[in-house]
Amino acid sequence: MTINEIQDEIIEEFSFFDDWMDKYEYLISLGKDLPLIDEQYKDEQHLIKGCQSRVWLHAEQAAGQVAFTADSDAIITKGIIGLLVRVLSEQKPEDVAKAELHFVDKIGLHEHLSPTRSNGLRSMVKQMKLYGLAMAAQNDQSNG
């Protein structure tokens, strides 16, 4: 599936929730279920420090795709990370670099990615795209 197809799928899923309670309960369950990152990567090097919560991000490339794993100490942040990883992981690096993440607005979670929220999520998205960009450039070089 493409990045946009996954985004549409998530928007569709969230359209079934009547109120914020259900939505957040779903996010919390996502946060609880997902083992998101190998423990060895939860170190300073992979840490994105927010004022409110901490986020760890790891990226690697296999078979021309970038694979992300990530985690957070806050469960709602972690739930949203689950969605972001689902959208951007196992995609071509160049697609990650230019991805427009419209689903965040559509499912009403925009505030969690606002610059003033300082929970690490916004920086994480930026970092994911930078990884995409760097890997795409690397691939270009080795192909050229």
Residue 44 makes CB contacts below 8 A (sequence gap 6+) with none
- Per CB under 8 A, does 33 bind other proteins? no
Strand partners, 69: 58
- Per CB under 8 A, does 75 bind other proteins? yes
Query: What distance in Å separates the CA atoms of residue 80 and residue 96, rounded to the nearest whole number?
Result: 17
- Per CB under 8 A, does 80 bind other proteins? no
Considering only 12, 38, 60, 73, the residue that binds other proteins (CB under 8 A) is 73
- Per CB under 8 A, does 17 bind other proteins? no
- Alpha carbon dihedral 31, 32, 34, 36, in 10-degree steps, equals 70
Interface positions, 93-122, toward other proteins (CB under 8 A): 112, 119
Binding site for other proteins (CB under 8 A): 20-21, 24-25, 28, 51-54, 73-77, 112, 119
